[in-house]
Amino acid sequence: MRLGVLDVGSNTVHLLVVDAHPGARPLPAHSHKAELRLAELLDAGAGGAISPAGVDVLTATIAEAVQAAEDKGCEEVLPFATSAVREASNADEVLARVKAETGVELQVLTGDEEARLTFLAARRWFGWSAGKLLLLDIGGGSLEIAYGIDEEPDAAVSLPLGAGRLTAGWLPGDPADAQDVRALRRHVRAQIARTVGEFARFGPPDHVVATSKTFKQLARIAGAARSTEGLYVQRALTRKALEEWVPKLSAMTAEQRAGLPGVSEGRAGQLLAGALVAEGAMDLFGVEELEICPWALREGVILRRLDHLPAA
């Protein structure tokens, strides 16, 4: 069957269309993406609400995605939203308007659900031979961490340490002010450190993996293979390489970061904050190297839906 998964994330609204059935690997057929950066549109002066203009753009973008799903012959669309909508003070109004104008009833995932579904995708990608997995995922609004040996993690947390959120709230300069960078570094590490004990009691992982655009871009600037070389090329990121890149990224403007290999113009402004989160997580969890996983939350949502379909 042809499924669409509509991901209203903190950075993008992304429709992924796949051909899938239970027991088989979902095959991507079409991708429709728009960068909205909702995490940066939350208006602190309005109590953390998505602005009226932001709601207008979000609704129009979802309507376009729904039309694209219909054009591509999707039998079913799985729509969900993550931290930016989840934490908006006017979330109920936003969801009601989206449903009224587009017919889409967004499922708002909790942070725990985000972590668990992303972990499921990573487990299916790497298989049982990977042993105990530690998963790290940096989104626009939150950082997800999960750990376990089965398809359901033994521990999972979501922290408000997304690259877009932190950039908007902590790094107003371009290039970033050195004092702001130090303050953000302290904040990030204090937040992550609170969770380390929850995971440490399960023992060291056998394999550490990371998902998300942030980790992919950090791995790419550190020398990992280009995306054009295919899904099955192993891509890794070492803590040593990341520690060497953080001061370089701190000294760059967003425009200069956009000139780095694999860094998109739309994400360049967030890359420093994402790097500080990645460095802090790898350091505090004692990770020397991690592997990039091509699958993440969208694939986890698809896999969970397929698990509830009868076998062909």
How does DSSP classify residue 226?
P
Least confident of 7-11, 108-112, 178-182, 281-285: 7-11
Burial track 236-275 (b if 16+ CB lie within 10 A, e otherwise) = bbbbebbeebbeebbebebeebbebebbeeebbbbbbbbb
- Going by C-alpha positions, the residue among 157, 151, 240, 149 that lies closest to residue 203 is 149
User: 264 and 210 in contact (C-beta within 8 Å)?
Assistant: no
Name the pairing type of β-strands 207-211 and 133-138: parallel
Which CATH code of 1.10.1510.10, 3.50.50.60, 3.30.420.150, 3.40.50.12780 fits the domain covering 111-297?
3.30.420.150
Q: CA-based angle 300:270:169, to the nearest 5?
A: 105
Q: Do domains 2-108 and 111-297 have the same CATH topology?
A: yes
- Going by C-alpha positions, the residue among 157, 200, 160, 221 that lies closest to residue 287 is 200
User: 166 and 185 in contact (C-beta within 8 Å)?
Assistant: no
Phi-psi region of 272 (alpha: psi -120 to 50; beta: other; left: phi over 0): alpha
Q: Assess whether pLDDT exceeds 70 at residue 43.
A: no
pTM, rounded to two decimals: 0.94
pLDDT digits (tens, 9 = 90+) for 180-233: 999 999 999 999 999 999 999 999 999 999 999 999 999 999 999 998 898 889
How are strands ordered across the β-sheet holding 27-35? 27-35, 12-19, 2-8, 76-81, 107-108
Burial track 156-170 (b if 16+ CB lie within 10 A, e otherwise) = bbbbebbbbbbbbbb
- Going by C-alpha positions, the residue among 151, 155, 296 that lies closest to residue 214 is 296
pLDDT, mean over the chain: 94
Q: Assess whether pLDDT exceeds 80 at residue 40.
A: no
pLDDT for position 219:
97
- Going by C-alpha positions, the residue among 213, 108, 201, 119 that lies closest to residue 157 is 119
Q: Assess whether pLDDT exceeds 60 at residue 312.
A: no
Going from N- to C-terminal start, the domains of the chain cover 2-108, 111-297
Own/partner contacts of 29-37, CB < 8 Å, gap of 24 or more, are 29/2, 29/72, 30/68, 30/72, 32/64, 32/65, 32/68, 32/69, 34/61, 34/64, 34/65, 35/11, 35/266, 36/11, 36/12, 36/61, 37/10, 37/11, 37/140, 37/164, 37/266
pLDDT-derived band at 254, boundaries 50, 70, 90: very high
Residue 72 and residue 176: Cα distance in Å, rounded? Answer: 43
pLDDT-derived band at 285, boundaries 50, 70, 90: very high
pLDDT digits (tens, 9 = 90+) for 119-149: 999 999 999 999 999 999 999 999 999 999 9
Instruction: Name the phi and psi angles at 147, rounded to 5.
Output: -145, 140
Q: Based on the number of CB atoms within 10 Å of its own CB, is 177 exposed (0-12), middle (13-18) or buried (19 or more)?
A: middle
Percent of the residues in the chain that have a pLDDT greater than 90, as a whole number = 86
Largest interatomic CA distance in the chain: 59
Residue 67 burial (CB count, 10 A): 13
Which CATH code of 2.40.40.20, 3.30.420.40, 3.30.565.10, 3.40.50.2000 fits the domain covering 2-108?
3.30.420.40
